[in-house]
């Protein structure tokens, strides 16, 4: 399924998490990277895998939505990412 072994996978995910925390990428970009690089799945297949609709996944990946936390948890469950929630206010 993935070209990454255990340590490479962890390093890849750590880099994505770092990029998110440093505002270098959006959540949707991270989801797309995991789907395409780690799982090599189509949007439809990945949406079924994480149990969200195709449209929801498309909107998340395009950063066209501000998804609820429950949707984020579903779409990132395969990433093993821990979110730190902070307000920009």
| Cα–Cα dist 43/59, whole Å | 11
Calpha distance 10→81 (Å, rounded): 10
CA distance 53 to 61: 12
- Mean pLDDT of each 10-residue bin along the chain, 89 residues long: 77 89 90 90 92 92 82 64 52
Predicted pLDDT of residue 40: 92
User: Residue 77: its pLDDT value, please?
Assistant: 64
- Indicate which CATH number applies to the domain containing 42: 1.10.260
Spatial CA neighbour of 27 closest among 61, 69, 55: 61
Does residue 62 fall inside a structural domain?
Answer: yes
Residue 12 falls within a domain, yes or no?
yes
Does 29 reside within a domain?
Answer: yes
The whole-number pLDDT of residue 1 equals 56
Please name which of 5, 16, 23 lies closest in space to residue 88, comparing C-alpha atoms. Answer: 23
């Amino acid at each position: 399924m993935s070209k990454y072994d255990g340590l490479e996978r962890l390093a890849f995910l750590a880099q994505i998490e770092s990029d998110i925390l440093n505002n270098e990428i959006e959540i949707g970009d991270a989801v797309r990277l995991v789907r395409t690089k780690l799982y090599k799945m189509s949007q439809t297949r990945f949406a079924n895998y994480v149990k969200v609709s195709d449209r929801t996944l498309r909107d998340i990946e395009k950063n066209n939505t501000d998804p609820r936390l429950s949707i984020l948890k579903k779409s990132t469950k395969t990433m093993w990412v821990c979110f730190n929630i902070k307000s920009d206010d």
